[in-house]
Chain A
């Protein structure tokens, strides 16, 4: 009898706790829930909605079906070039940036005297707001009186026009991006990852006669692979949205050499006020990013190693 009578009050008590937990939980997260609905999810749905219209703010708008998407893919002379340029930027800046950050972190991990000083040297440029970095690099990369071309002239190289050259504008943007990012959060994350590798692993590898290179490939790299994965994902997401540096330094020029995809969206939305079309462009960017992230998550099973399980 006792056994059959027991579960009932217990269950009721649990559900009362459950109710309290539910009410309080939702109450505490309500700021985010409201903010998410109003500023993120709602706008996201609205963007999808607008992308099927010809909304241009001034006129009455109507449903145009897939027209915006068809225009983007087949009839916008800037669409594919700007997407291609953005991929190109990503393919150059992300690997150099991530490997660069890792190398800096490995240098700092050598237990150098004055590690904090070097870390500060690498980190300070990343605190420069992009609006300020764009101004200072415009001068450093000045074709005639810039410091970089002066330094190149010292070793007998006649420097290019950098931001003013259709060939060199893209590498210039990459350079500015690297300067403002390579020694920042990414490097600190790698450094923490490196410092978290158990020393015993290296010691036992040394006893087995492993060289530095083999230690790096077989111990360091697998152990820091979660940090590498994290930095890669964030790096790609950031690179596909590159905007500010190019907007301030070149406005997409010269001759559209730095006309990135985000600039294309911005111009259509906030200079031409072609909101319907710009929404379609934004949704396409979202799809591209989603595909990239899914591919990376799939591939990550093969190379990312979580020591904690």
Chain B
């Protein structure tokens, strides 16, 4: 860039015509630049507005939601909306259920996916490539192809209307995507490390826990984030497995809260806003805390895919 500017001034010094052309070129470049900033900023605001309006509405009194034109800021701040939701509906129970399911999913998926990825990345076993292709192709399998027999299986096991069916599959590696991601990462760890340990008499378990896992913390964090988000947002499986409102996870509870009749037909739209914001908050906080793991994980999935 600096070099380019030097040559520009050099040639500009040579003739006056060049200077004018140069100035015009840089002027149009500035205009383009300003336009790009304007477009990006406008789009960014457009994307954020629905979000910000919801946060603002979560603090409104319910009648203010029915005012036209809609207000950007609450006329009367009503932060108690965020308290009422915990009293009016089993919001605490839903949060507990969601946190429990997400927590178990994170632990189980990280451990199981890492073990399976280790197997795929480090051992020469018969049918490895075939099984890996099978694993990858399960990512494209629509949930509807397996959900009915799974529902019937969980019914026979007496697991319906409990959180168990939302947790158990995670212990078997959960999403194929996580295994794929970790396997790609493990492939980048030099084999010399585990071979040296192997020569020293280390077992494959020791190599896994002492070498592979400590070196893969960033990738494991990414998997933890993805499995948290998948579990936190999971809608269709809770919808199919759970019946009693006390057993709901947050997405299902929120949907139930939206349609279930309240005593004396009390309006609750402002409370729904508060509940939605509260429900979204953990994902947002996680993003700000662990932004680089998000981005890295997504990039790895896309480029190697």
Contacts and interface: CB of A to CB of B under 8 A. Distances in A.
A71 interface: no
B145 A39 contact: no
A132 B280 contact: yes
Given A29-B119, A35-B172, A123 B39 contact: no
B115 A31 contact: yes
Interface in B97-148: 112, 115-116, 118-120, 122-126, 128, 131, 134-135, 138, 140-148
Interface stretch (A3-11, A89-97, A163-171, A187-195): A187-195
A189 B169 contact: no
Interface in A243-296: 243-244, 247-248, 262, 265-266, 269-270, 275, 278-279, 281-283, 285-286, 289, 293
Contacts, number: 268
Contacts of B235: 129-131, 244, 247-248
A192 B299 contact: yes
Contacts of A243: 236
B82 interface: no
A185 B229 CA distance: 13
Contacts of B66: 145
B140 A34 contact: no
A135 interface: yes
B53 A147 contact: yes
Interface stretch (B8-16, B20-28, B269-277): B269-277
B172 A107 contact: no
A107 B40 contact: yes
Overall SS of chain A's interface = helix
B276 A227 contact: no
B233 A129 contact: yes
A52 to B, nearest CB: 13
Interface string A99-136: 00000100110101000011011111101111110111
A43 interface: yes
Interface of B: 36-37, 39-41, 43-45, 47-51, 53-54, 57, 65-70, 112, 115-116, 118-120, 122-126, 128, 131, 134-135, 138, 140-153, 169, 171-173, 176, 179, 204, 208, 229, 232-233, 235-236, 239-240, 250-252, 254-255, 258, 269, 272-273, 276-277, 279-280, 283-284, 287, 291, 294-295, 298-299, 301-303, 305
A-B pairs, 8 with minimum CB distance: A35-B172, A28-B119, A25-B125, A189-B302, A25-B123, A121-B44, A131-B251, A46-B149
Given A25-B123, A183-B47, 15 more contacts: A24-B123, A25-B128, A31-B171, A32-B179, A36-B135, A107-B40, A108-B40, A120-B287, A122-B44, A128-B280, A129-B283, A132-B254, A150-B70, A179-B47, A189-B298
